[in-house]
Structure 1
Amino acid sequence: MKVSVLTFLLLVLTSISIHPTVTFGQNIDDGYRAWLNYEKVENQELLNDYRNVLSSVVLKGNSPTMAVIKEELNIALPDLLGLEISFSDQVQNNGTLLIGTPESSSQISSLNFDEKLAQIGDEGYLIEHADLDGYRSLVITANTDIGLLYGVFGLLKQIQTHQNISEISIQSAPKVEYRMVNHWDNLSRLVERGYAGLSIWDWGTLPEYKHPRYTDYARLNASIGINATAVNNVNADPRMLSDQFLEKLVVLADIFRPYGIKVFISINYQAPISVGGLDTADPLDPNVRNWWAEKADQIYDMIPDFGGFLVKADSEGQPGPFAYDRNHAEGANVLAEALEPHGGVVIWRAFVYSPEQEDRFREAYDEFVPLDGQFKDNVILQVKNGPIDFQPREPFSPLFGAMEETNTMLELQITQEYFGFSYHLAYQGTLFEEALDSDTFANGEGSTVGKVVAGEVFDYEHTGMAGVLNIGTDRNWTGHPFVQSSWYAFGRLAWDYTLSAGEIADEWLKMTFTNKPEFLDPISEVMMISREAGVNYRSPLGLTHLYAQGHHYGPAPWTSDLPRPDWTAVYYHKADVDGIGFDRTQSGSNAIEQYHEPVRKRFNKIESTPEDYLLWFHHVDWNYEMNSGRTLWEELVHKYYEGVEQVRWMQEQWNSIEGLIDEHRFEHVKALLEIQEKDAVRWRDSCVLYFQTFSDMPIPDQYEKPEHDLEYYKSLERSLYIPSPRYD
């Protein structure tokens, strides 16, 4: 039998990338356990306190979720406390951990938590000390078993981060309804914008083989409050709706259900034709409406708690309602109508842009705002944090605060498409926090993006946040160990958008590596500066989209000859002899009109525009004086050089902690930082030399000069090995 070259390579890649899964309970340091790395508490005084509070465990309930809770405690507490945990049927002594709902436990019911429980909904939890039959006990309670699971993970986090639990009192509930991760995984197992191996979904062995990694995936997500996952690429293969793949999906849904995770799938809008055999996918055609309704009935018969559909339509070549002269609302509503009887939702992406648009910045707003109020109540518009495309820094999308009558959720990118793939350290928690804290002024001051997506500004029927995750078969899930931190940060912020990136980084470091201050102090600083460093050596002062097209890894600010202008770099930076930047004020594309006042007024003038966004909104003279007293050219050069120096500082800090963590992860990150430093220099030199051709100004004497000329850096665009290319 002859085997094609592609098939052979896929077989080789599969054999290399997939390793036997081991349980979290084993003492390994390759990153597989991520933040559920239950290392024994070394502080003896603290350890004794934990043992006194957690000498035995009483579980009330017999659901699959309660079984998951017992299994998690059996893994975590022996590893953390160094002793086997005794499970009993009732509280018999001091130091008992009682876990149950008022319905499952008469003792908890007697504690009169009714008022607090009424405030936390179906997923919130309480952790309180209480006297039970004369014994001082620690109680985790909630309205549902899923809430109890979140509470257990909340308690374990307290122990992992060495918090005092002798007087613990926690009341916690999620601020948004759907806390979702989006996979861009293809059915071939190649992952678009995935940099950590092949897709973890081994469709070829499903439904027969239930890979243990699927359970560990569910545990990691549940531990940070994730309650939904869209398992396939938004550039969707219609076969996902076929009987063959729905049978496979059932297995994943069954594994995820005890962890409180609902399954969603991305659908191809032409599925009624390609899967259903119809001659049209017109959303207003009765046969099409009937096909979607019957397909929804079939799915819910197989998966009663199915979440719904994620849709990318009429964007980047994906089919949609435009082919039938229908708008986005008409396109979404036929799907919503089919899902509505089952409680499902349609998540409709607002990532759209056309070659005819003068300014891609404007496209989503101009296309969707006129449709506000026309979407059904079970449609959620999924909006990227910025108006372009997950760039290292973007102003918030003006759609946030503009859709008063349309459920709107935030889409963030965890996978590092524009941040060096799995080769650069770039903690995204600071980016997420920046987006969530941006004030839209939609209903006066304080109408932040976080409040908008939580339904606190407008009365949304559904709320949510989505993170594009794209983990893979790499043993450490994400390729770079520190990409895990962005996954963790997304989950924590989706649960509570008011948390700070700094406190989340501190949690993650303690849970993933160690609680030693001599490690935490320097590396928390590294995490907090890492995203800004990435901005500085790529696209400072509001520059954007300077990447080589296709892979998005290296610099190519000179890109100009492509089929569409908005795929080029020159479209965005507009550098010329007079200056640089995209004029989006009233004298330019007037994209600023999409913002509420006073945001519009602030961005309209150079003097009041924050310098981080300066070139997003203004074409600025090279000699313009910046806040530092430098000219724009000098400040631009300074930022590029500062980014490189920040990476070098990150290297120094990492090297200083050698011996404080395991050698495997230390050496891995050390090598990756060396790669990052080389890449940062290449970015700096490429961009500075290119923009110098317009400014015609020298690089100030205090900076090291580029090793090569501009033509050399241009030659690297396609000649260098580019890891993990995009698979369309």
Structure 2
Amino acid sequence: MMYNVKPYIHLFFITIMVVACMPCIFAQSGYRMWLDYRPLDNDLAIRYREQLRTLVFPITGETDSVAHAELLEALNGLLGHEPSHADTSNGPGILLVGSASTLPATGPVSEALALLPEHDDAYVIYSGVYGENPCTVILGGSDKGVLYGVYAFIASLQCGEDITQLSKVACPKIQLRLLNHWDNLDRTVERGYAGFSLWDWHRLPGYRDPRYTDYAKANASLGINGTVLNNVNANARILTQPYLEKAAALADIFRPYGIKVYLSARFSAPVELGGLADADPHNPAVQRWWKEKASEIYRHIPDFGGFLVKANSEGQPGPQNYDRNHADGANLLADALKPYGGVVMWRAFVYEDTEPEDRAKQAYNEFVPLDGQFRDNVIIQVKNGPIDFQPREPFHPLFGVMPQSQLMMEFQITQEYLGFATHLVYLGTLFSEVLQSDTHRHRPNSTVAQVIDGSMNPQPLTAIAGVANTGTAINWTGHPFAQANWYAYGRLAWDPDVDASAIAEDWLRQTFGNNDTFVHDVLPLMMRSREAAVNYMTPLGLHHLMGWDHHYGPGPWIKDKPRADWTSVYYHQADKDGIGFDRTAIGSDALGQYAPEVQAKFENPQTCPDEYLLWFHHLPWDFRMKSGRTLWDELCHRYYGGVETVAAIQATWAAQKNRVNNDTFQEVADLLAMQYEEAKIWRNACVLYFRQFSGMPIPDGLEHPEHPLEYYENLHVHVIPGI
């Protein structure tokens, strides 16, 4: 596929007359994402120009400067108009932008101030009257709040809202809202499907690619305020002086956008870099080494955010190498960072070196006994589910069971198990499904969101992380619709309770324009896409059926690997008697790690939701489902239904041909054609594989796979990015 690499930053030079003649045709490479300020409909633009004649925006620092520049660029692009600047707020059509310290607390500003939450990142967008003239106020709790408010106001314009009736009050529910980059120092990206790493380490710090600034803009527009630059499978060299100088250059670029830099630290760095005999947390020499390293880092990056650590998991070094526990390891680094205000995000993605009874239980078993032993600047980073970012998992049992510790969420934005950047899968529904899951801990309606935002168990630190899906692809994420997953994550990081459908609609309008017919058609497409993927990959609670190592395509037959829990047969346990992993009390008892109310919901296969049935139960092939079908027939219908949904998505997209530019239309159409073929491979491979155990025929009315099982078992994918 050929890409038009010009970012179209200057789209606002297109005349309003041309846009009026061609309201649905616009050219974009995807580089500008939801910040592509193409001209609005002529009537709407005229109305906004009347309402935004004059701008009052006192500039007091770098963050104000970037907010001011972004606002003017948006107004020029959307309206073909830049308001006049004024020092005082008089006359019609005034837009007042600033904070309590920069705007006079009179008239509508004082009214907005009364609504403003006490938080630096908070903002109010308020329609008021100054004298006899209507005006709009964007008031922030600080310069960062102003920046976030400006981006929210721009989004209101993009979505065609009535700006004479605004009263938006926004305050983030989560303090630290981060992207985790699994980027390596050689610029490869583990599980990255959009090209190479954004960070050109070779040319840093001397050359500062303008793309770094555009990356910062995109994150600031969503309220993301932190980025971990390197892979959790860390290379210790990231902590050496040359790389600290490079990271400092990125920190300088990101700082005006309210974004702090974090680094993944390799636990064995004192040995690899410092020449010490060990990295034992109780070794005074090791403690001293980390304190000196922290001092060095803060000399380069005064506002350094802290460390992300993967330890004693998948072969990574950690405190257990020295018969210490996770609290010992995390507290070692926390003590080194404490004088500077830094934090340690210690990942709970762990499992024993020996074969476990059930890998889903490992994190709970290792961390719950340590509740209350972590420093107050340590936060435990927990994946959304207990296995590994599967298309669907129940929420992780750690949420809600460590009241004396700080927990944060880790989502995966990059589609490691969901078709990479080839498949259209909107993840806002996955994120929301997890966040709104009820842990039933301590009080009714104890959602995962309430755990991580601190409202259930008050904690000094609240945080959320998303494994980034960005790369050097011109459209950043490889698939045009994968941008929506970055966008949805950012919106939910700010407020975990926002509706996933509302987020998707905002993204569509900001990215593709305000054509109501287009939005009406494509929004349901997005909302169905994740369920379709679950159905053609891992329906009814199945999981971990993907290809070995690369995780692309089906592999339910995978066995005989170095560890049982690195195989598919370990998880689906299909045999002549049935299928599924029994995690009830008579099985692994992983269900016992949840609250009694959750156990009661899932322990009875007759009442267990279909979506999690085979996650918690091993059931006979003729088990009677809620649909009235046997388990085997239902499994087949789910697989076939997933493929049918992709076909329906293709048809819906085909109808949008004259509503988006041809390059974007064709790219999505081509990728959907690939997705359809790959969905059929998933369906055929899995149905044929499981049929040999069920001994039952494919139900009437469903087409038979065109090849035998051996054909699918021998398919080899030769070029796979991100492994």
| Structure 1 residues 383-426: Cα deviation after superposition (integer angstroms, max 9, x where no partner) | 00000000000000000001101110000000000011110000
Counterpart for residue 668 of structure 1:
667
- Partner of 1:99, secondary structure, is strand
* Counterparts in 2 of 1:160 and 1:708: CA distance versus 1, 3 Å: same
Query: Does 2:162 correspond to 1:171?
Result: no
Matches within 5 A, 1:103-502: 103-107=101-105, 111-113=109-111, 116=114, 119-132=117-130, 134-354=132-352, 355-502=354-501
- Alignment CA distance shift 1:146-1:195 (3 Å): same
- Equivalent residue of 2:32, what SS? coil
| Structure 2 match to 1:531 | 530
Amino acid of the structure 2 residue aligned with 1:400:
F
**Separation of aligned partners in 2, 1:145 and 1:109:** 21
Deviation at 1:57, TM superposition (A): 1.1
Q: Distance in 2 between matches of 1:263 and 1:519?
A: 38
> Runs ≥4 in structure 1, deviation > 6 angstroms?
16-22
CA-to-aligned-CA distance 1:181-237 (integer Å, 9 cap, x gap):
000000000000000100010000000011000000000000011000001000000
Q: Deviations over 1:542-593 (max 9, x none)?
A: 0000011111011010001100000000000000001000000000000011
Counterparts of 2:4 and 2:590, CA distance in 1: 47
Distance 1:429 1:503, change over 3 A: same
Task: Give the conservation status (yes or no) of the 8 Å contact 1:184–1:470.
Answer: no
In the other structure, the counterpart of 2:721 is: 724
- TM value normalised by structure 2: 0.96
- The residue type paired with residue 77 of structure 2 is D
Alpha-carbon displacement from aligned partner over 1:341-389 (angstroms, at most 9, x marks no partner): 1111000000001233100010000000000000000001000000000
**Matched AA of 2:376:** D
Residues 457 and 119 (structure 1), Cα distance of their counterparts in 2 relative to 1, 3 Å cut: same
Q: Which amino acid aligns with 2:591?
A: I
1:551·1:722 contact (CA, 8 Å) conserved in 2? no
2:108–2:129 contact (8 Å) kept in structure 1: no
Alpha-carbon distance, 1:470 to partner:
3.3
CA 1:180/1:658 → structure 2, altered by over 3 Å: closer, same or farther? same
Question: Is the CA contact 1:225–1:491 (under 8 Å) kept in the aligned structure 2?
Answer: yes
* Match 2:53 to one of 52, 55, 59: 55
Structure 2 distance, partners of 1:129, 1:165, is 7
| Alpha-carbon distance, 1:167 to partner | 1.3
d(CA) in 2 for partners of 1:135, 1:241: 56
| Structure 2 residue 37 is matched with structure 1 residue 38 | yes
CA contact (8 A) 2:334 2:344 kept: yes
Question: Counterpart of 1:481 in structure 2: which amino acid?
Answer: P
Change in Cα spacing, 1:221 to 1:330, as seen in structure 2 (3 Å) is same
Provide, for residues 262-297 of structure 1, a one-character-per-residue CA deviation record: whole Å limited to 9, x for no partner: 100001001111112222211111111111111111
Does structure 2 conserve the Cα–Cα contact (< 8 Å) formed by 1:380 and 1:462? Answer: yes
Q: Which amino acid aligns with 2:492?
A: L
1:321/1:574 CA distance change after superposition, 3 Å: same
How far off its partner does 1:92 sit? Answer: 3.3
**1:36-87, CA deviations, whole angstroms, 9 ceiling, x for partnerless residues?**
111211150x323311221121112320001101110121111101123322
Distance 2:92 2:46 in 1: 14
Give the corresponding residue for 1:596: 595
1:476-506 Cα shifts (integer Å, max 9, x gaps): 0000011100100000001111111100000
Contact 1:518 1:657 (8 Å CA) reproduced: no
Tell me the equivalent position of 1:552.
551
Question: Per the alignment, do residues 299 and 102 of structure 1 end up closer, same or farther by CA in structure 2, a change over 3 Å counting?
Answer: same
CA distance in 2, matches of 1:374, 1:586: 29
CA distance in 1 between counterparts of 2:511 and 2:10 reads 12
Question: How far apart are residue 155 of structure 1 and its match?
Answer: 0.4
1:66 alignment partner in structure 2: 64
Structure-to-structure mapping, 1:58-97, within 5 angstroms: 58-97=56-95
For structure 1, the 5+ residue unaligned runs are 1-15
Q: Work out the CA distance in 2 between the residues paired with 1:496 and 1:53.
A: 30
- Is the CA contact (8 Å cut-off) linking 2:117 and 2:123 kept in structure 1? no
Uncovered stretches (5+) of structure 2, i.e. residues with no partner: 15-26
Displacement after TM superposition at 1:129 (Å): 2.4
The answer on whether the counterparts of 1:21 and 1:212 sit within 8 Å (CA) in structure 2 is no
Q: 1:651 corresponds to which residue?
A: 650
**Structure-1 separation of matches of 2:129 and 2:609:** 55
Larger mean Cα displacement after TM superposition, 101-110 or 585-594: 101-110
Instruction: Please state how far the C-alpha of 1:303 moved relative to its aligned partner.
Output: 1.2
Preserved contact between residue 30 and residue 476 of structure 1 (Cα < 8 Å): yes
SS at match of 1:131: strand
Measured after TM superposition, the shift of residue 114 of structure 1 is 8.2
SS in 1 for 2:423: coil
1:585 and 1:24, CA in 2 relative to 1: closer, same or farther beyond 3 A?
Answer: farther
Distance 1:648 1:438, change over 3 A: same
Aligned partners of 1:634, 1:241: CA distance in 2, in Å?
55
1: CA distance, partners of 2:543 / 2:507: 30
User: Once the 2 structures are TM-superposed, how far is the Cα of residue 107 of structure 1 from its aligned partner?
Assistant: 4.3
Residue identity opposite 2:393 in structure 1: E
Amino acid at match of 2:272: S
Kept in 1, the 8 Å contact 2:383–2:410? The answer is yes
Tell me which residue corresponds to 1:713. 712
> Contact (CA 8 Å) 2:107, 2:130: kept in 1 or not?
no
Aligned mates of 2:107, 2:552 — CA distance in 1: 56
Q: CA deviation at 1:701?
A: 2.1
CA distance in 2, matches of 1:108, 1:240: 50
Q: How many residues align?
A: 708
Give the aligned residue type for 1:410: M
Distance of 1:116 and 1:162 partners within structure 2: 27
User: One-letter code of the match for 1:128?
Assistant: Y
Cα deviation digits, residues 496-555 of structure 1 (max 9, x gap): 111111000000000111211221111101100000000000000000000111110110
Give the match's secondary structure for 2:33. Answer: coil
Q: Give the whole-Å Cα distance in 1 for the aligned partners of 2:6 and 2:281.
A: 45
Once residues 176 and 106 of structure 2 are traced to their aligned partners in structure 1, the CA distance between those partners, rounded to angstroms, is: 29
Deviations 1:416-474 (A, max 9, x none): 00011110000000000000000001122210001110001101110111100131100
What is the match of residue 580 of structure 2? 581
Pairwise CA RMSD? 1.6
Instruction: Find the residue that maps to 1:39 and give its secondary structure.
Output: coil
- How much has 1:157 moved relative to structure 2? 0.6
CA gap of 1:126–1:471, structure 2 versus 1, over 3 A, is same
Could you tell me which amino acid in structure 2 is paired with residue 288 of structure 1? V
Once the two structures are TM-superposed, the CA of residue 89 in structure 1 deviates from its matched residue by: 2.3
Contact 1:24 1:36 in 2 (8 A): no
CA distance in 2, matches of 1:525, 1:81: 30
Distance 2:175 2:10 in 1: 29
CA-CA distance at 1:133 after TM superposition: 5.1
Q: Which residue of 2 aligns with 1:6?
A: none
Q: State the one-letter code of the partner of 1:170.
A: K
